[in-house]
């Protein structure tokens, strides 16, 4: 790194050999002092560009930074060196025409040095600001995004994250106070990670300032918060001495530490990635450019041990299994943007806009766990320049392999903003709001999972929004929300377009009740019956007579099978009660008994009248 600073400082010296010869002949001491001063300026520029900005020492990287330095140097040098006058012909002709030439204005020779500087400067500006618009269709294909009208595979309840970012930060801040000398540190950026088959929000502990870095020996680990259970306590993982972190300085600064070894690699962004045993690592995504400095193509990841600083470089898809984000979200978002905007060309994107669609967010993609247990970057798309609550599709980029698909089968469904608006209206009275909607396929239905938080950012409930109808099911926990959503799919979506048997599979189970739970949340009862390993769940708002179930009752229940351990009961028959009492319509009054009763009533009325 430092060798490049000394070498590239030479670009600030006088670049014209002619002036070196002239300067050394006329006043060598003064000329050399001027060049030394210019070299010092070059060193300062090199320290800023190479040591602090940490540019990649690649051909295009050096061209795109030091090219401007050379261009400005040539322009300034050209302005301060006197130009020669035009000399026409030989000396004899010049003497003969001397009087005539003196009457005419003398034109300066075109300054080649200045012109060369201007040419380089214009060329760099064109490469940076014009050239990208000439390769837009290549950019659209850079992510190799496939288009699919199939529905994504349904996920299990365990794969759905229910704890939002704001609540995870709140719980992390509480535990943060338990750190020794906590004023030395601050909470780093939180990211979603899969650790030991569970989802967590992980937040590295960072230095608060350069003075705190000088005082502290190391950053004391990280904090992890369950992304599945809002009631779980945050965990302070302070058994690790993290020396190489983004907020450190000099040689311990994470990116500088990586750059010292991998000088020519184009670094895109990092992710904090503890392994399944909890040991802290950073994963630095890197890329290459096919079109000068336009359109980074994700190429691999560099894994850094945050304690020892040991590093290993992996090609994309060959990294260790615990690395969830081998592709930086910014690269994935660029893929989605270019694909949606430029697939039919630049002029179409500017004027006709046929088939143009854009991500609903220009800043972030949501990290979700897919049905294949890989992490994905996901963002929904909408029509350009429209304030709409519906989407035209969504992009999912596998953050571990780079495979990407754009799903069109979701066109017309609620987008993230629409789902949040539906949830907000559902909680107007409480003044709670939805946050960080995430799209999943749940029971083969596109569903927005929206954590609900109060005005202080504390999580209150979890909402599940049916993306097609906007129907909302809520619960105080993920389990309760899923149970409510199952019931909603089986009973509430009763229009022609949503027949329960098309959504979920119905079947009839029979058996003898041998366990009955207490009423859950004043709405549900769970029952165990013989010859059935799964739990039957009764919603008292739809099957109210389930409250009379007792152990020993024989029942036949029509249930909705979601391939989970809980069967939602749509309707049921208590065979024991029917055998003992019969149905209500089976009770008939004997006519004679009825007449006697009528006459007795008449007699009594008559006596009363007397």
pLDDT for res 51: 92
Q: Which residues contact 204 (CB under 8 A, 6 or more apart)?
A: 188, 189, 219, 221, 222, 242, 245, 272, 280, 306
DSSP state letter for 279: -
Tokens of 478: 């993920």
pLDDT tier at 133, thresholds 50, 70, 90: very high
Residue 93 has pLDDT above 90, yes or no: no
Nearest-angstrom CA–CA distance, 610 and 605? 9
* Residue 173, phi then psi, degrees to nearest 5: -65, -35
Q: DSSP letter for 556, please.
A: E
Encode pLDDT of 417-450 as tens digits: 899 999 999 998 889 999 989 999 888 889 999 9
pLDDT, mean of residues 460-487: 88
Kindly indicate the confidence band of residue 389, based on its pLDDT and cuts at 50, 70 and 90: confident
Flag whether pLDDT at 83 surpasses 50.
no
What tokens does 332 get? 């994935």
Task: For domain 416-492, give its CATH number from 3.10.450, 3.30.70, 3.30.1460, 2.40.160.
Answer: 3.10.450
Q: What is the distance of C-alpha 364 from the center of its chain?
A: 5
Q: Which of 420, 338, 423, 329 is nearest to 381 (CA)?
A: 338
In contact, 418 and 333? CB cutoff 8 Å: no
Mean pLDDT of the chain: 84
Distance CA 326, CA 329 (A): 9
Residues 7-24: pLDDT tens digits?
999 999 988 888 788 878
Could you tell me which residues are beta bridge partners of residue 407? 148, 394
**pLDDT above 70 for 75:** yes
Give the pLDDT score at 187: 93
Task: Tell me the pLDDT tens digit for each residue of 398-424.
Answer: 999 999 999 988 778 888 889 999 999
Which DSSP string corresponds to 255-266? HHHHHHH-TT-E
pLDDT in tens, 480-507: 888 888 878 876 654 444 444 444 677 8
Average pLDDT over residues 20-32: 82
The residue ranges of every structural domain in the chain are 2-129, 157-237, 416-492, 504-585
- Tens digits of per-residue pLDDT, 171-219? 999 999 888 888 899 999 999 998 888 889 999 999 999 998 998 889 9
Q: Give, in degrees to the nearest 5, the angle at Cα 176 between 170 and 182.
A: 140
Q: Select the more confidently predicted residue: 490 or 156.
A: 156
pTM over 0.85: no
Instruction: Kindly state which CATH superfamily the domain 504-585 is placed in.
Output: Nucleic acid-binding proteins (2.40.50.140)
- Does residue 43 have a pLDDT over 90? yes
């Amino acid at each position: 790194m430092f060798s490049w600073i000394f070498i590239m400082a030479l670009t600030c010296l006088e670049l014209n050999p002619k002036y070196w010869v002239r300067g050394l002949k006329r006043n060598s001491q003064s000329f050399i002092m001027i060049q030394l001063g210019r070299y010092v300026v070059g060193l300062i520029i090199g320290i800023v560009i190479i040591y602090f900005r940490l540019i990649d020492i690649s051909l295009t990287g050096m061209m795109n930074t030091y090219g401007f330095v050379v261009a400005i140097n040539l322009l300034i040098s050209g302005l301060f060196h006197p130009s020669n006058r035009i000399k026409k012909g030989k000396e004899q002709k010049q003497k003969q025409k001397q009087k005539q030439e003196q009457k005419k204005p003398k034109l300066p020779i075109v300054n080649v040095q200045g012109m060369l500087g201007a040419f380089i400067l214009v060329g760099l500006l064109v490469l940076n600001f014009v050239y990208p618009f000439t390769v837009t269709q290549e950019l659209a294909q850079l992510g190799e995004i496939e288009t699919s009208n199939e529905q994504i595979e349904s996920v299990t309840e365990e794969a759905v994250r229910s704890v939002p970012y704001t609540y995870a930060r709140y719980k992390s801040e509480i535990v943060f106070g338990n750190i020794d000398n906590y004023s030395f540190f601050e909470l780093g950026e939180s990211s979603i990670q899969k650790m030991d088959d569970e989802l967590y929000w992980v937040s590295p502990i960072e230095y608060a300032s350069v003075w705190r870095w000088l005082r502290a020996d190391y950053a004391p680990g990280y904090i992890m918060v369950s992304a599945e259970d809002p009631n779980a306590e945050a965990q302070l993982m302070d058994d690790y001495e993290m020396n190489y972190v983004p907020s450190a300085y000099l040689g311990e600064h994470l990116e500088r530490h990586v750059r010292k070894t991998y000088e020519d690699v184009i670094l895109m962004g990092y992710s904090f990635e503890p392994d399944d045993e909890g040991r802290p690592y950073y994963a630095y995504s890197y890329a290459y450019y096919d079109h000068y400095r336009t359109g980074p193509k994700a190429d691999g990841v560099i894994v850094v041990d945050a304690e020892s600083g040991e590093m290993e470089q992996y090609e994309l898809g060959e990294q260790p299994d615990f690395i969830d984000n081998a592709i930086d979200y910014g690269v994935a978002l660029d893929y989605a943007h270019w694909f949606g905007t430029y697939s039919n060309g630049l002029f179409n994107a500017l004027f006709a806009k046929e088939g143009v669609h854009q991500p609903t967010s220009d800043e972030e993609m949501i990290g979700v766990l897919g049905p294949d247990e890989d992490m994905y970057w996901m963002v929904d798309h909408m029509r350009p320049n429209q304030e709409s609550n519906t989407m035209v599709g969504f992009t999912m980029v596998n953050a571990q392999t780079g495979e990407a698909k754009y799903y069109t089968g979701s066109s017309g469904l609620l987008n993230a903003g629409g789902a949040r608006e539906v949830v907000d209206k559902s909680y107007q009275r409480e003044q709670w709001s939805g946050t960080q909607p995430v799209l999943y396929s749940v029971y083969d239905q596109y569903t927005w999972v929206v954590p609900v938080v109060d005005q202080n950012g504390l999580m209150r409930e979890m909402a599940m929004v049916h993306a097609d109808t906007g129907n909302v099911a809520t619960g105080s926990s993920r389990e309760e929300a899923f149970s409510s959503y199952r019931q909603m799919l089986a009973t509430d979506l009763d229009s022609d377009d949503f027949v329960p048997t098309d959504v979920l599979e119905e079947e009839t189970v029979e058996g003898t009740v041998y366990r009955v739970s207490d009423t859950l949340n004043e709405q549900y009862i769970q029952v165990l019956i013989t010859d059935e390993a799964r739990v039957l769940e009764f919603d008292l708002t739809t099957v109210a007579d389930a409250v009379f179930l007792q152990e020993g009752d024989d029942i036949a229940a029509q249930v909705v099978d979601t391939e989970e351990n809980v069967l939602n009961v749509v309707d049921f028959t208590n065979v024991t009660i029917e055998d003992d009492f019969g149905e209500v319509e089976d009770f008939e009054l004997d006519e004679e008994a009825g007449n006697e009763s009528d006459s007795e009533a008449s007699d009594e009325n008559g006596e009363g009248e007397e």
